[in-house]
Structure 1
Amino acid sequence: MTELIQQILAGLATGVIYAGLALALGVVFQGTGMLNLAQGELATLSAFAAWSLIDAGLPFWGAFPLAVLLSAVLGAAIERVLVRPVEGSGPMVLLAAGAAMLLGINALMALGWGTDPKTFASPFGASSVGFGDVRLTSQQAGAAALVLVTMGVIAALFRFTPVGLKLRAVATNPASARLLGIRTGRILALGWALAGAVGGVAGIAAAPVVGLSPDMMSGPLLLALAAATLGGMTSRAGAVVGGLVIGVAGSLASRYVPGLGGDLQLVVPFGIIFAVLLLRPQGLFGRAATVRA
């Protein structure tokens, strides 16, 4: 039983990272209908920014907010400059734009920092925390707490603030929101900024574990996409639940299913996704249809 609990906790700690990325994907998708394939690259860029600031002598807790702010500003700038001109061009154009941004940002990071993995020291130390025989590394616990707090702040913003109400209104029906006097352009840019910030936190939290390189978030982004699909692209709560389920499923599969260690553990999460898509295509918490005008 102790081992089972250990595996579940490890899966939850990993799943929180997937949940953060899935939440960022969902926020962008709700606002613009675009699947932002570059979300992982934006998260990686934020981690590189934090690493550079720390390398220049800034402490982690000074570099962290600056890097997240940079990711938010970059997210808003991308929406304004690259996404808005093609926003009404159809899903294939938006998908191609996302792929182009993924390749472009990845290439720029490779040019700026190289392709060799870099060590990102854990800000939480090398100890462990837990109760009895159930333990997590301080990095796992700290990173999970960091991402959870960030997602909690975003949830509170959406639920309890006038800005959050406007974000939800624009995501549901931009035309109606515009008639109510909401400046939809600014709100969409803000949504991209929030997605950039959440993704940046997830990237910085993951860097000490996966190693800092331009491709470090490629695998987590695929699992975050699976999480968003499982929970529902139109549901922020669903994205979080989906990320946790994917994390736990992968952890348990790698430990208890023979032959599914390493990368092969991905078979189980994606098997879950296919089952959900067959039975409930909109995801566990998503809506069957989204009104867009």
Structure 2
Amino acid sequence: MIELLQQVVNGLSTGCVYAALALAISVIYQGAGILNFAQGEMATVAAYSAWSLDALGWPMWAALPVVFAGAAVLGAVIERLLVRPVEGASVLALVTVSTALLLGINGLVTVLWGTDPHSLAGPFGTKALSAGEVTVTSQQLGGAATVLVVMAAVGLFFRFSDVGLRMKAVSQNADSAVLLGIRPGRMRAAGWALAAVVGAVAGFVAAPATGVNPEMMQTPLLMAFAAAALGGFGSRVGAVVGGLALGVLTALAARYIPGLNGDLALSVPFGVIFLVLLLRPHGLFSRGSAVRA
């Protein structure tokens, strides 16, 4: 039982990263009807930015606001310059743009920072804390708490803030929103900026464990898309729950199913998703309505 609890704790820690990325994917999908394949690469840029400021001697807590602000600007600029010109285009065109963003940002990261891996110490330390025989590090606790606070803040933002309510109005019916004096272009840019910040949090939390390298967010991005599919691309709550569930499933599969070590353990959560989507094609939490054509 102790070992099982330990695996669940480890899975939840990893699942928080998946959940944050899945939440970012869901925010953009709800607002623009686009699956952003470059979300992981944008998080990688944020992780490299944090590493660069750390290498210059910046205290981590002073560097993070700069990193998050830079992520927001990057998200808004990408939406304005690269995504907005193809709004209303075919699904194939949108997928092509999103894929090009993934490859382009990955190439830019390689040009700016090279391919050598780097380490980034987490701001929460590495002290091990024990609850009975279950052990959790301060970095795991701090990272999970950070992600959960951001998720709660996003939920409150969309529920109570004026900008969040305007963004929801645009995602539900852009034409009606225009009649209310809302500018859909600005709201979609704000959605991309918000998603970029949430993704940056995921990159920051993952970096101490994965190291900072151009491929650091590739597996988390794959799991994030799986999480969003499991919960429903149109549901922010579903994306979060899906990410946490996949983190736990992967950890348990790697430990308790013989022969499923390393990346092979990913086959179990994807098998579960396949079975779930046979019964609920739009995901567990989605009502099945499209955001935008």
TM-score by length of 1: 0.98
Aligned equivalents of 1:167, 1:130: Cα separation in 2: 43
Give the equivalent residue in structure 2 for 1:204. Answer: 204
Aligned equivalents of 2:62, 2:261: Cα separation in 1: 38
- Code of the aligned partner of 1:256: Y
- Code of the aligned partner of 1:179: L
DSSP 3-state at the match of 1:28: helix
Q: Cα distance, 1:5 vs. partner?
A: 0.9
Contact kept, 8 Å, 2:276 with 2:283, in 1: the verdict is: yes
Aligned equivalents of 2:49, 2:264: Cα separation in 1: 32
Q: Does 1:95 align with 2:98?
A: no
Aligned equivalents of 1:86, 1:79: Cα separation in 2: 10
Give the equivalent residue in structure 1 for 2:52. Answer: 52
Contact kept, 8 Å, 2:30 with 2:291, in 1: the verdict is: no
Aligned equivalents of 2:8, 2:202: Cα separation in 1: 20
Give the equivalent residue in structure 2 for 1:243. Answer: 243
- Code of the aligned partner of 1:198: V
Q: Cα distance, 1:190 vs. partner?
A: 0.3
Give the equivalent residue in structure 1 for 2:25. Answer: 25
Instruction: Give the alignment of 1:117-136 within 5 angstroms.
Output: 117-136=117-136
Change (3 A) 1:291 1:241: closer
Aligned equivalents of 2:195, 2:129: Cα separation in 1: 30
CA deviations on 1:249-279 (whole Å, 9 max, x unpaired) are 0011011111111110000111111112211
Q: Cα distance, 1:143 vs. partner?
A: 1.0
Change (3 A) 1:113 1:292: closer
Instruction: Give the alignment of 1:2-13 within 5 angstroms.
Output: 2-13=2-13
Give the equivalent residue in structure 1 for 2:148. Answer: 148
Q: Cα distance, 1:130 vs. partner?
A: 3.5
Deviation larger for 3-12 or 122-131: 122-131
Instruction: Give the alignment of 1:1-293 within 5 angstroms.
Output: 1-290=1-290, 292=292
Aligned equivalents of 1:28, 1:287: Cα separation in 2: 18
CA deviations on 1:51-100 (whole Å, 9 max, x unpaired) are 11111111000111111111111001100000000011121111110110
Structure 1 unaligned spans of 5+: none
Q: Cα distance, 1:104 vs. partner?
A: 0.6
After TM superposition, the runs of 4+ consecutive aligned structure 1 residues lying more than 6 A away are none
Q: Cα distance, 1:114 vs. partner?
A: 0.7
Aligned equivalents of 1:198, 1:85: Cα separation in 2: 24
- Code of the aligned partner of 1:286: S
- Code of the aligned partner of 2:242: G
Q: Cα distance, 1:292 vs. partner?
A: 3.3
DSSP 3-state at the match of 2:136: strand
Contact kept, 8 Å, 1:129 with 1:141, in 2: the verdict is: no
- Code of the aligned partner of 1:246: L
Aligned equivalents of 1:160, 1:134: Cα separation in 2: 38
CA deviations on 1:213-247 (whole Å, 9 max, x unpaired) are 01110000000000000000000000000001100
Change (3 A) 1:137 1:177: same
Q: Cα distance, 1:191 vs. partner?
A: 0.4
Aligned equivalents of 2:87, 2:275: Cα separation in 1: 31
What root-mean-square deviation, in Å, do the aligned CA atoms of Structure 1 and Structure 2 show?
A: 1.0
Q: Cα distance, 1:291 vs. partner?
A: 5.1
DSSP 3-state at the match of 2:129: strand
Aligned equivalents of 1:266, 1:15: Cα separation in 2: 13
Aligned equivalents of 1:271, 1:55: Cα separation in 2: 42
Percent identity, aligned pairs only, is 58
Contact kept, 8 Å, 1:172 with 1:290, in 2: the verdict is: no
Aligned equivalents of 1:229, 1:95: Cα separation in 2: 16
- Code of the aligned partner of 2:66: L
- Code of the aligned partner of 2:181: G
DSSP 3-state at the match of 2:215: coil
